[in-house]
Amino acid sequence: MILEPKTVFFLEELEKAFQVPDIMKLKGIANSALQQAALENNKFLARIAIAAYCLYKLSTKEHIVQNKNWLSVKKSILENIEKAVQAEKANNSEELGKRLDSAINSVNQIDKELGFFLLGVLDKAKIKLASSAYVLGLSLGQAAELTGADKKQLLQYIANTVINEEEEQGIGISERLEKIKKLLK
């Protein structure tokens, strides 16, 4: 595996934004990383986008950030993100994946313990980001595969939102990819 500067960049930005926390920056990282992930079909970037979106959502929930366990969970997440950066710099994709998964699992665990909803923040993040990838031009199956979203839930989400109508009709995948490339410059 070759060192991916974009992966390091997104991880470092994620770490900084979550440390503060800068809620809007977390959301922006999720969107930017997802766009790049869709463009490159890069599952590591998709996992960074998912982590950023989950951290954005959790950071807005007062009952979570005020909980006595939050600081230790936050510390664990930050350590895993830092170790993910080190793994990427060492070209260790296996360790990178483990560290991303550990950070996401910590998010999922605290959400299960303290969350109020049946569908957790992790599943919501996967569906939301998969729908964004779909709008960017990926097929439903590609979007679900990239983010790990459940296809049935994704289809239901897309059917119940207006996002599938936002994209101009008649634009092909190559034109959509050109739009994405322009956005990322």
Condensed to tens digits (0 to 9), the pLDDT of residues 43-85 reads 999 999 999 999 999 999 898 889 999 999 999 999 999 999 9
30/118 Cα distance (integer angstroms): 23
Range of the domain at 126: 5-184
- Structural domain total, the chain: 1
The pLDDT value recorded for residue 76 is: 95
The pLDDT value recorded for residue 137 is: 92
- The answer, as to whether pTM is greater than 0.85, is no
Q: What is the DSSP letter of 117?
A: S
CB 104 within 8 A of CB 120: no
Cβ neighbours, 10 Å, residue 88? 26
CB 147 within 8 A of CB 130: yes
Q: What is the Cα Rg of the chain in Å?
A: 16
pLDDT at residue 184 is higher than 80: no
Query: Which residue's structure tokens are 């059917």?
Result: 159
94/176 Cα distance (integer angstroms): 32
Is the sign of the CA dihedral 148, 126, 134, 26 positive or negative? negative
Instruction: Give 150-176 pLDDT, tens digit per residue.
Output: 999 999 999 888 754 444 445 666 777
The pLDDT value recorded for residue 165 is: 46
Residue 67 vs residues 56, 99, 107, 111: alpha-carbon distances, Å: 16, 24, 14, 12
Instruction: Give 74-129 pLDDT, tens digit per residue.
Output: 999 999 999 999 999 999 999 999 999 999 999 888 888 887 665 688 999 999 99
Region 170-184: what's the mean pLDDT? 71
Instruction: Give 8-38 pLDDT, tens digit per residue.
Output: 999 999 999 999 999 999 999 999 999 999 9
